[in-house]
């Protein structure tokens, strides 16, 4: 008599040793001639990033009139892009911190990747409010610095001040978490480096890490504490971002569903972006043994779960609008779905709610091409979601103050430009830093060698 | 560049200081076993090196637990405290000391409440805890330490890739080269070699430190000087960092602009022909203000106020705050006011735009019950629910609402009643933003009805109604009905 046994595929596939893992990962950063695809991608994305820089310069000289922001929709594209990019960042911290706390070993091969994505996404996110503050050469006004003679402080009861603290803390903690995770791997790169400049650069970055048991002991504790701190932090960030909207007394915004719905949406969009990045990266950099189909399948399942939560939230919003009996709320939602921006609304609904449902079928969870297409849909859908929420401003209480928001070409160019910045940073990361957490993968490998998966027949 | 010595060195005077013995092990499990046998042999200054954390090796090395969590907790608690103090100091206090806070009220909310500050306090707690974890990790590990004799050993460079090493420190009290070497070999080490302190290498010349420090300090002077001159109290012209912030190209209203800007040199532009400014169509003062037009120009509200300011300046009339109230407002205690302002010429008849009718009175009753009755009471006796409640609580700051049936109010012209409803009086707010002009006149009409109802003579009641009332009251209290001037049904005047 045989019983069915849960047979998990190995997280590290192929005949791997510590040496082969190190070689696979370090080769990417050490290779003097990266693949041609890297150069092409870098040339494209860095020129787009350069255009972004030029547009910011144009904005500095000319002013925010170059954007489509107008009187009802005072926030426009900058806030849409800000919320979109902050949301992308969430998957990185979620994979690194929350899955670490839940002892999900499958995170180890993708967490570095996702953390880097978090940081670059937060860089892009921080750019938009940074250039939207009017006098953008005085960003230090956001900080509570003691100014002599001015007696001026931030207004700490404002959600916009909360945003500064939330996103600032998030960026700082993400960088610390990312960098601390990289220290042992940077030490590996240091020890393998031949060229003196590389040796010094990696030597300084690895801070003199030796891998002693004392160091590992403190390091493991610190890493666990940082994960435990990052977990509530990541949930708080998009909650506070949603307060920007939810504390405003506007129909369609003033709802208590916003914090959980924003957090679920952020995780959803972040995992979508992880998929978008990791499918080509594992192909180009030969990481298929470390980032296995099981990893991709797990990401798809997270997308399915969070996408369903987001869909549920959309429907709940409509139900509550009807149930509240508030005609302004009802109008706001009817206007979202059937007003002048209905195309964005239905794109959002199709991309965010319908497309991840394909992941119920195993074929879609096993096919990288299908996954890639869905992940692009998710990215588009989540951008549209923020757009739909923000342009709700165009029709509030008084028809006399209604207006229509139309993005200018500069708006669109800056959105594309932020992608250029993101991919430029990401390609540089892939080129020079360890893109897979080697020490953690070796830990998993050691664990799997000692506890091999056996098909038990009884 | 690595030290490849494998045999005990000769006792040479030039030989560098021995730091310890480094042994290689094939894998994690062997390392743990080896470490355990070495510590069992009595050696205490033993350190293991591995490419990933090995939990069992801590036990084998008899290592103590780290106190890092307590440090992180301390940092988090400091973050919580600092954030609370910062928010309280900057937003809820205001003193004269330097870097004082600025207490400002937002939407009538308290200056300080923990609820509104949860996000800031939470974020700073996390931030400082994270700093504690990261910098605590570096501090407890004595990192960064960029120079380490181990890094010069070729085999040690394998550790971060896949090597497992054990090092017995030469500082160990029981350290003996041959004994340790033998112990390591028997513990399963595949290779044992000594590690020596560094004797050669590049050092920063000490003579460079002093000039370097001087240059660093001097480099700070220009930015500090600019910062000081931009905000100091010197009598010399101030240096500006942000020119367009200090000097903004603009012309204020009522000033002269250069003729190159506008031909008429006026900075303030006249309105575009055909512009209708807000409220400018309300020229009919009888209807919109309750004042006869012939006197509006003479003693308008603002004019009266201005006149009272002038009077205040003269030493003879020492009347303090006499002009606090509006010119058309009635006084709470007229006797206390030494110089009552001239009253506008109130209209005494309803303006022609307002049609006095039964319908209008009904409308007035409805509006009165909505807007006025809460304080003044449905009958206008000043006994609304709010007034009763305030009296019950003995609110010291409460000004009781007027009883509209007093002689003083009855004698007021309708224009004045209209103005009181519109602009308020004493603690009563003005209602012109809430109630339309038409409805305000309707309320005046209803107030007149109420007043009439309380002061009606028997002759005011129509014959039929009088009979009806008498019939109703006869069986019950005939005597009373005869004595009383029975309450008349309200009826519009005229």
Cβ contacts (< 8 Å) between A226 and chain B: which residues?
130, 133-134
**B296 burial class (0-12, 13-18, 19+ CB within 10 angstroms)?**
middle
What is the pLDDT at residue B310?
Answer: 55
pLDDT at B290 over 70: yes
Of A434, A437, A101, A193, give the one whose Cα is nearest residue B52: A437
Tens digit of each residue's pLDDT (9 = 90 or more) over B93-121: 888 887 888 888 887 888 888 888 899 99
Give the per-residue pLDDT at B392. 87
Question: Is there a contact between B63 and A213 if contact means CB atoms under 8 Å apart?
Answer: yes
For residue B299, what pLDDT is reported? 46
Average pLDDT over residues A404-415: 93
Residue of A nearest to B133 (CA): A222
Residue B490 has pLDDT above 80, yes or no: no
Least confident of A214-228, A428-442, B472-486: B472-486
| Residues of chain A with C-beta less than 8 angstroms from the C-beta of B162 | 17-19, 22, 442
Provide mean pLDDT across the span B261-269: 84
Domains and CATH numbers, chain B: 18-196 (no CATH), 358-472 (1.10.760.10)
- Whether A369 is covered by a domain: the verdict is yes
| A302 located within any domain | yes
- Tell me, yes or no, if B30 comes closer than 8 A to chain A by beta carbon: no
Judged against a pLDDT cut of 70, whether residue B459 lies above it is answered with yes
Mean pLDDT, range B37-62, rounded to an integer: 89
Chain A hits for B131, Cβ within 8 Å:
176
Q: Poorest-confidence range of A3-17, A414-428, B159-173?
A: A3-17
pLDDT at B477: 56
Domain membership flag for residue A41:
yes
- Residue B363 vs residue A150, higher pLDDT: B363
Cβ within 8 Å, pair A172-B127: yes
Choosing among A146, A174, A216, which should be mutated to test the B contact, i.e. which has the most B CBs within 10 A?
A216
Question: Can you spell out the DSSP letters for B434-453?
Answer: TS-HHHHHHHHHHHHHHHHH
For residue A220, list chain B residues with Cβ-Cβ distance below 8 A. 53
Q: What's the whole-number mean pLDDT along residues A73-86?
A: 91
Task: Say yes or no to pLDDT of B17 above 90.
Answer: no
Interface membership of A136 toward B (CB under 8 Å): no
Give the per-residue pLDDT at B81.
Answer: 96
Domain count of the fold of chain A: 1
Q: Are B32 and B54 in contact (CB under 8 A)?
A: yes
Work out the average pLDDT over B79-88. 94
The pLDDT mean for chain A works out to 87
DSSP state for residue B424 in the 8-state scheme: E
Instruction: Give the pLDDT band (50/70/90) at residue A357.
Output: very high
Residue B331 has a pLDDT of: 43
CA distances from A337 to A401, B207, B230 (A): 20, 74, 54
Q: Higher model confidence: residue B304 or residue B29?
A: B29
Q: How confident is the model at residue A150 (pLDDT cuts 50, 70, 90)?
A: low
* pLDDT tens readout for residues B211-237: 999 999 999 998 888 777 766 677 777
In this predicted structure, the answer to whether residue B312 has a pLDDT above a threshold of 60 is: no
Q: Among residues of chain B, what percentage have pLDDT more than 90?
A: 18
Q: Please, which pLDDT band fits residue B324 given cuts at 50, 70 and 90?
A: very low
The long-range contacts involving B238-245, CB below 8 angstroms and separated by at least 24 positions, are B242/A135, B242/A137, B242/A138, B245/A135
pLDDT grade for B315, boundaries at 50, 70 and 90: very low
| CB atoms B68 and A221 under 8 Å | yes
Interface touch A208/B120, C-beta < 8 Å: no
HSE (side-chain half, CA atoms, 13 Å) at B344: 35
Between A454 and A66, name the one with better pLDDT: A66
B460 or B167, higher pLDDT = B167
pLDDT surpassing 70 at residue B492: no
Least confident of A28-37, A448-457, B30-39, B273-282: A448-457
Identify all chain A residues contacting B231, using CB atoms and an 8 Å cutoff: 148-149
Give per-residue pLDDT as tens, A252-307: 899 899 999 999 999 999 999 989 988 988 888 777 877 888 889 989 999 999 99
Domain with A54, as residue range(s), is 18-141+172-447
Is A114 inside a domain boundary? yes
Query: What pLDDT score was predicted for residue B479?
Result: 53
Confidence at B334, pLDDT banded by 50, 70, 90: very low
Residue B2, pLDDT > 50, answer no
Burial of A431 (0-12, 13-18, 19+ CB in 10 A): middle
Has residue A453 been placed in a domain? Answer: no
Residue A410: the pLDDT is: 94
Read off the pLDDT of each residue in B333-349 and give the average, rounded to a whole number: 67
Determine contact, residues A94/A279, Cβ cutoff 8 Å: no
Given this model, what pLDDT does residue B132 score? 95
Task: Answer yes or no: is A9 within a domain.
Answer: no
Structure tokens at B314: 């003269």
Distance from CA of B170 to the nearest CA of A (A): 17
Using 50, 70 and 90 to split pLDDT, how confident is the model at A455? very low
What is the percent of chain A with per-residue pLDDT over 70, rounded to a whole number?
94
Tell me the nearest-neighbour CA distance from A247 into chain B, angstroms: 11
pLDDT digits (tens, 9 = 90+) for A205-220: 999 899 999 999 999 9
Helix (H) or strand (E) segment spanning residue B196? strand B191-196
Specify the higher pLDDT residue, A46 or A35: A46
Residue A366 within a domain: yes
Using the predicted structure, report yes or no on whether residue B159 has a pLDDT greater than 80: yes
Q: What is the pLDDT of residues B381-393, one digit of tens each?
A: 888 898 888 888 8
Enumerate residues 423 to 442 of chain A having a beta carbon within 8 A of any beta carbon in chain B: 438-440, 442
A40 pLDDT band, cuts 50/70/90, is: very high
């Amino acid at each position: 008599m045989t019983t069915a046994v849960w047979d998990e595929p190995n997280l590290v596939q192929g005949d791997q040793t510590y040496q082969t893992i190190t070689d696979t990962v370090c080769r990417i950063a050490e290779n003097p001639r990266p693949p041609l695809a890297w150069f092409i991608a870098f040339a494209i994305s860095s020129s787009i990033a350069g255009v972004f820089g030029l547009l910011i310069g144009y904005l500095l000289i000319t002013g925010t009139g170059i954007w489509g922001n107008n009187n009802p929709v005072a926030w426009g594209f900058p806030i849409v892009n800000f919320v979109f990019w902050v949301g992308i960042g969430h998957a990185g911290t979620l994979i690194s911190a929350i899955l670490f706390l839940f002892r999900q070993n499958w995170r180890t091969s993708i967490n570095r990747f996702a953390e880097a994505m978090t940081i670059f996404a937060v860089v892009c996110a921080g750019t938009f409010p940074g250039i939207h503050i009017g006098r953008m050469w005085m960003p230090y006004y956001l900080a509570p610095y003691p100014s002599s003679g001015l007696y001026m402080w931030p207004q700490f009861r404002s959600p916009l001040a909360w945003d500064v603290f939330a996103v600032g803390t998030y960026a700082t903690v993400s960088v610390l978490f990312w960098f601390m995770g990289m220290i042992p791997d940077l030490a590996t790169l240091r020890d393998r480096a031949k060229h003196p400049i590389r040796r010094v650069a990696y030597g300084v970055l690895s801070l003199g890490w030796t891998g002693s048991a004392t160091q590992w002991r403190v390091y493991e504790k610190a890493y666990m504490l940082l994960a435990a701190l990052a977990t509530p932090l990541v949930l708080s960030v998009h909650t506070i971002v949603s307060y920007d909207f939810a504390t405003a007394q506007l129909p369609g915004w003033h709802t208590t569903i916003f914090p959980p719905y924003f957090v679920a949406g952020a995780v959803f969009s972040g995992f979508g972006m992880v998929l978008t990045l990791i499918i080509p990266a594992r192909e180009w950099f030969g990481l298929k043994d470390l980032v296995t189909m099981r990893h991709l399948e797990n990401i798809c399942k997270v997308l399915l779960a969070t996408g369903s939560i987001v869909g549920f939230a959309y429907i709940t919003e409509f139900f509550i609008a009807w149930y509240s009996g508030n005609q302004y709320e009802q109008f706001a939602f009817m206007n979202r779905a059937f007003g002048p921006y209905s195309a964005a609304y239905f794109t959002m609904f199709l991309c965010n709610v319908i497309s991840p449902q394909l992941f119920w079928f195993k074929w879609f969870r096993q096919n990288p091409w299908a996954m890639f297409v869905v992940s692009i849909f998710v990215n588009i859908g989540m951008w549209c979601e923020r757009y739909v929420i923000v342009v709700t401003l165009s029709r509030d209480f008084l028809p006399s103050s209604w207006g229509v928001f139309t993005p200018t070409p500069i708006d669109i160019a800056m959105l594309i430009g932020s992608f250029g910045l993101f991919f430029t940073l990401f390609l540089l990361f892939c080129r020079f830093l360890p893109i897979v957490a080697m020490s953690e993968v070796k830990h998993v490998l050691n664990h799997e060698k000692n506890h091999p998966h056996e098909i038990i027949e009884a | 560049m690595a030290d490849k010595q494998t045999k005990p060195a000769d006792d040479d005077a030039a030989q560098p200081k021995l730091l310890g013995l480094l042994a290689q092990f094939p894998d994690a499990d062997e390392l743990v076993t080896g470490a355990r046998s070495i510590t069992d042999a009595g050696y205490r200054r033993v350190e293991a090196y591995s490419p990933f954390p090995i939990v069992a090796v801590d036990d084998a090395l008899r290592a103590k637990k780290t106190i890092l969590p307590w440090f992180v907790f301390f940092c988090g608690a400091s973050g919580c405290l600092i954030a609370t103090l910062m928010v309280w100091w900057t937003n809820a206090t205001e003193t004269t000391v330097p870097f004082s806070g600025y207490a400002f009220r937002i939407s009538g909310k308290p200056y300080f409440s923990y609820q509104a500050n949860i996000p800031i306090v939470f974020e700073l707690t996390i931030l400082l805890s994270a700093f504690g974890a990261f910098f605590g990790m570096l501090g407890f590990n004595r990192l960064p330490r960029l120079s380490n004799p181990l890094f010069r050993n070729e085999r040690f460079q394998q550790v971060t890739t896949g090597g497992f090493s054990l090092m017995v420190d030469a500082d160990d009290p029981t350290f003996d080269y041959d004994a340790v070497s033998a112990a390591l070999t028997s513990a399963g080490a595949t290779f044992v070699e000594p590690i020596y302190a560094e004797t050669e290498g590049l050092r920063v010349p000490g003579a460079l430190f002093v000039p370097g420090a001087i240059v660093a300090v001097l480099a700070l002077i220009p930015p500090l000087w600019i910062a000081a001159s931009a905000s100091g109290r010197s009598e010399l012209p101030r240096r500006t960092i942000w020119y367009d912030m200090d000097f903004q190209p603009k012309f204020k209203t009522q000033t002269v602009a250069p003729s190159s800007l506008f031909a008429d040199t006026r900075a303030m532009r006249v309105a575009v022909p055909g512009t209708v400014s807000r409220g400018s169509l309300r020229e009919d003062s009888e209807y919109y203000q309750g004042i006869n037009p012939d006197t509006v120009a003479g003693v308008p509200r603002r004019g009266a106020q201005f006149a009272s300011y002038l009077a205040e300046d003269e030493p003879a009339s020492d009347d303090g705050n006499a002009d606090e109230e509006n010119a058309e407002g009635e006084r709470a205690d007229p006797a206390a006011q030494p110089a009552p302002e001239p009253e506008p010429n109130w209209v005494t008849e309803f303006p022609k735009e307002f049609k006095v009718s039964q319908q209008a009175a009904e409308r007035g009753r409805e509006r009165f019950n909505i807007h006025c009755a809460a304080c003044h009471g449905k009958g206008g006796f000043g006994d609304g629910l709010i007034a009763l409640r305030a009296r019950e609580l003995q609110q010291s700051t409460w000004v009781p609402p007027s009883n509209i049936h007093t002689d003083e109010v009855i004698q007021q012209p309708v224009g004045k009643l209209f103005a009181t409803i519109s602009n308020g009086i004493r603690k009563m707010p003005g209602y012109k933003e809430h109630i339309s002009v038409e409805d305000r006149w309707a309320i005046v009409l209803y107030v007149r009805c109420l007043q009439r109802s309380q002061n009606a003579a028997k002759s005011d009641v129509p014959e039929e109604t009088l009979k009806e009332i008498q019939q109703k009251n006869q069986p019950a209290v005939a005597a009373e009905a005869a004595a009383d001037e029975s309450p008349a049904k309200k009826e519009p005047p005229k």
